[in-house]
Structure formats: structure tokens, C-alpha cells
């Protein structure tokens, strides 16, 4: 197996690191040369301008797709996001939807995975929130929307299952941890409280507060040429009330079932 890296990596059994960058197009042809299957997992999740997302999520996808076509690959899997279901919400969701659109003209058979929030050890976005929760305080958006979740190993197992499945093209799958109708914050807090064995104080942050912070971050990011996470668009994503996956289709096609619910995922992320 080959994998593209922008920074030097320690040798790892079974992986050949290829130095490169999908933004610059370096190393991509070498990466996919002679490969049967190409898995495109790179993505930009932070930014203050549309270009910050598009350069990776749209143009970078185009770069990988064209290289896969040149290599004669027989299949390509693009890891998108459930956010692509609502492209008007944010610069990120718009870029992920347009990245998916790049595949429509691809000659290589392609599949799209749209996972919801992915978490697990090493996660830099959700894990700090869950860590604070396990320490006894939950700072959460003040609404009752619902979301699906998926633990990182379940997502990886789905990708491996795709490698062994019959080749098909033009399919877009949502996938989650198998919890019907996902979770709301009360569900997640109840699970975390039981695992922690002690109460968790919930702090609901109003939309107006987060929206003000998001707008300030957006303008500061543009002024200082930084890539913030919490921007106005991200706040709109956080307050969207339906991030529940419709995941049944993927289980009819792949030999895959999720194994890790939120309780087990928290336990694995924060071993006692």
C-alpha cells in the first residue's frame, strides 16, 4: 500500500510513503501508478475563505481523479462528509459537495462515502469536547437537533469492505454507528455520565454567542491569514438540526456492519 504525505514519516510495515501534495500535484502520479484502487481521504476542514477549502476539497479531488484515470485504476473511493448534503450551510459543505461533483465526469468507477462526525484517538476536533465532558462539564450548542456519529475504526472497516466488494460506480453512501435516529446532546450526556460514574454539568451556548465568536474568528482569520475552525459557517452547521445518516443502503451493498456505539467509542477514546 502507498500513501501520500506532505511531511517526513517514520517507516511503517505495509506502507510505502510517497512525498507529495495534492494541491501542488506533486507525487500523485507516483502514488497511484499501477494501483487497482485509489482511496482519496484528504480534506480541508478549516478556513476563512472559500479558496481555503476549494484548493483541497475541489481542485485536490480533481488532481487525484485525473491521476487515477491516467494510472488505469479500476475503482476510486472518495471520502466526503455528511455536510455535503447541505451545501448552502458553509464554505466547507459547499466545497465537499462540489468535490463530489468532480467525480460525475470521471472515467474511473467511483464511490462516495459521506460519514457524519468521525471521532477516536487522535481526533483534534471532537475529542477535546468529549474530553471536557468526561471531566465533568459539557459546553454544547443550545439546541435539540440530532446527529449521527461514527468511530474511526468502523469507518476504516467500511473502506476495507469496499475494496473487496464488486465494482460499481456512481454510488453515494451515508454511514454511521448503527444507532437509529442518531443522538441529541441529552443522549450523549447520559451515556458519558454513566461511563464517567459522576454527574456532568451541561452548559448550553446560545446561537447568538457562537455566531458572534464565529464571525470574529472569520474576520481575524482573513486579516491574519489563518485558518480558523469555528467560523460563521461552522456555527450554521452546529445548529443544523438534522445530521442523521440514512445508512441502510450501504449495508445492502457492502459486507459491513458498524461495531462501535458511542458508549464503547468513548471508552476506547479515554481508557481508564
Q: Is 83 helix (H, G, I), strand (E, B) or coil?
A: helix
Torsion angle in degrees (nearest 10) through CA of 103, 92, 185, 191 = 60
Q: Is 166 helix (H, G, I), strand (E, B) or coil?
A: coil
What average pLDDT does the structure give for the chain? Answer: 95
Give the tens place of pLDDT for each residue, 204-248: 999 999 999 999 999 999 999 999 999 999 999 999 999 999 877
Evaluate whether 96 touches 57 at the Cβ level (below 8 Å): yes
CA 197 to chain centre: 30
CATH number at 117-149+179-244+259-272 = 3.90.25
Evaluate whether 244 touches 148 at the Cβ level (below 8 Å): yes
Residue 178's contacts (CB-CB under 8 Å, 6 or more residues apart) are: 247, 257, 258, 261
pLDDT at 201 over 60: yes
**Mean pLDDT value of segment 176-184:** 95
Q: Do domains 1-114 and 117-149+179-244+259-272 have the same CATH topology?
A: no
pLDDT at 272 over 80: no
Domain limits of the chain?
Answer: 1-114, 117-149+179-244+259-272
Mean pLDDT is lowest, of 129-133, 172-176, 250-254, for 250-254
* Confidence at residue 94, expressed as pLDDT on a 0 to 100 scale: 98
Backbone angles phi, psi at 69, to 5 degrees: -65, -45
DSSP string, 27-68: THHHHHTT-SEEEE-------SSHHHHHHHHTHHHHHHHHHH
Give the tens place of pLDDT for each residue, 141-177: 988 899 999 999 999 999 999 999 998 899 999 999 9
Of 124 and 156, which is predicted with more confidence?
Answer: 156
DSSP string, 203-263: EEEPHHHHHHHHHHHHHHHHHHT---SS-HHHHHHHT-SEE----HHHHHHSS------HH
- Per CATH, the architecture of 1-114 is what? 3-Layer(aba) Sandwich (3.40)
Of 10 and 86, which is predicted with more confidence?
Answer: 86
Distance CA 72, CA 214 (A): 44
Quick one: cell of 247?
Answer: 445508512
Quick one: cell of 213?
Answer: 465568536
**What residues pair up with 18 in beta bridges, in sequence order?**
4
Evaluate whether 250 touches 174 at the Cβ level (below 8 Å): yes
Amino acid at each position: 500500500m502507498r500513501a501520500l504525505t506532505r511531511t517526513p514519516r517514520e517507516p511503517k510495515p505495509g506502507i510505502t510513503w510517497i512525498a507529495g501534495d495534492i494541491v501542488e500535484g506533486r507525487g500523485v502520479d507516483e502514488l497511484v501508478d499501477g494501483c487497482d484502487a485509489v482511496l482519496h481521504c484528504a480534506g480541508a476542514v478549516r478556513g476563512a475563505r472559500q479558496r481555503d477549502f476549494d484548493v483541497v476539497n475541489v481542485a485536490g479531488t480533481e488532481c487525484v481523479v485525473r491521476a487515477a484515470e491516467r494510472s488505469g485504476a479500476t475503482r476510486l473511493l472518495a471520502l466526503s462528509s455528511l455536510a455535503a448534503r447541505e451545501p448552502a450551510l458553509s464554505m466547507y459543505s459547499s466545497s465537499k459537495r462540489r468535490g463530489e461533483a468532480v467525480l460525475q465526469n470521471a472515467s474511473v468507477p467511483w464511490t462516495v462515502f459521506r460519514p457524519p462526525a468521525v471521532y477516536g484517538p487522535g481526533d483534534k476536533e471532537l475529542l477535546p469536547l468529549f474530553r471536557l465532558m468526561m471531566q465533568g462539564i459539557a459546553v454544547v450548542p443550545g439546541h435539540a437537533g440530532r446527529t449521527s456519529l461514527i468511530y474511526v475504526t468502523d469507518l476504516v472497516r467500511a473502506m476495507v469492505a469496499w475494496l473487496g466488494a464488486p465494482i460499481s460506480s456512481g454510488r453515494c453512501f451515508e454511514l454511521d454507528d448503527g444507532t437509529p435516529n442518531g443522538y441529541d446532546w441529552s443522549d450523549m450526556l447520559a451515556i458519558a455520565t454513566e461511563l464517567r460514574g459522576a454527574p456532568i454539568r451541561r452548559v448550553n451556548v446560545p446561537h447568538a454567542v457562537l455566531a458572534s465568536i464565529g464571525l470574529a474568528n472569520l474576520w481575524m482569520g482573513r486579516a491574519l491569514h489563518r485558518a480558523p475552525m469555528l467560523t460563521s459557517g461552522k456555527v450554521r452547521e452546529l445548529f443544523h438540526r438534522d445530521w442523521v445518516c440514512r445508512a441502510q443502503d450501504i449495508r445492502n451493498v457492502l459486507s459491513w456492519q458498524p461495531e462501535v456505539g458511542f458508549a464503547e467509542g468513548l471508552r476506547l477514546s479515554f481508557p481508564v
